[in-house]
């Protein structure tokens, strides 16, 4: 069974977790990049005119991806990592889910957050990842250990 950890990280926290997840899951690592990188000012959730605020207010927003070269076709299981923005996945994750065929694949969301859960994001991911089996997502601290992540992976309904 081939595994992929595809992730988006704006500040580096999710990147740190994704690298550890990749080792724990024995998976290829792929970073999702927006065509236009997010700058610090874009991430100010208190600014009603900040880029991320405007994106997250529009459920149909799909920021352009820098590329569509993720090795999704060769993966059976995709661990999908991202930070929580406005109680759901960032819009760039929606762009990623729209860009590939996930038919017959298993998607396992994992995310970082100061305390928020995935909220409506779980249902959104299930809808956008057409043809995939989407397992329940889990929040982790960016510094989660490889053994902690392996223990979680062992509880998942992923068949070899």
Nearest to 95 by CA among 126, 64, 72, 132: 64
The percent of residues above 90 in pLDDT, for the chain, comes to 73
Q: Are 81 and 18 in contact (CB under 8 A)?
A: yes
Dihedral sign, Cα of residue 13, residue 129, residue 85, residue 111: negative
**Residue 24 above 90 pLDDT?**
yes
Q: Has residue 116 got a pLDDT over 90?
A: no
> Taking Cα atoms as reference points, which of 132, 150, 16, 156 lies closest to residue 81?
16
pTM for this prediction: 0.93
Mean pLDDT of the chain: 92
Domain annotation for the chain: domains and CATH numbers: 3-155 (3.40.50.360)
CA torsion sign, 128 to 53 to 33 to 111? negative
Reported as a single tens digit per residue, the pLDDT across 55-100 is 888 989 999 999 999 999 999 999 999 999 878 899 999 999 999 9
Asked whether residue 110 carries a pLDDT value surpassing 90, the answer given is: yes
Q: What is the mean pLDDT of residues 30-42?
A: 92
């Amino acid at each position: 069974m081939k595994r992929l950890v595809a992730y988006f990280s704006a500040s580096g926290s999710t990147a740190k977790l994704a690298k550890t997840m990749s080792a724990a899951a024995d998976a290829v690592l792929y970073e999702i990049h927006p065509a236009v990188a997010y700058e610090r000012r874009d991430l100010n959730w208190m600014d009603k005119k900040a880029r991320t605020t405007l994106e997250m207010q529009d459920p149909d927003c799909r920021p352009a991806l820098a590329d569509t070269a993720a090795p999704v076709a060769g993966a059976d299981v995709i661990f999908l990592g991202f930070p929580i923005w406005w109680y759901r996945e960032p819009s760039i994750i929606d762009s990623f889910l729209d860009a590939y065929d996930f038919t017959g694949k298993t998607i396992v969301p994992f995310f970082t957050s100061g305390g928020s859960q995935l909220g409506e994001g779980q249902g959104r991911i299930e809808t956008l990842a057409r043809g995939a089996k989407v397992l329940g997502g889990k929040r982790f601290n960016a510094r989660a250990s490889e053994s902690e992540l392996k223990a979680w992976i062992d509880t998942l309904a992923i068949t070899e």
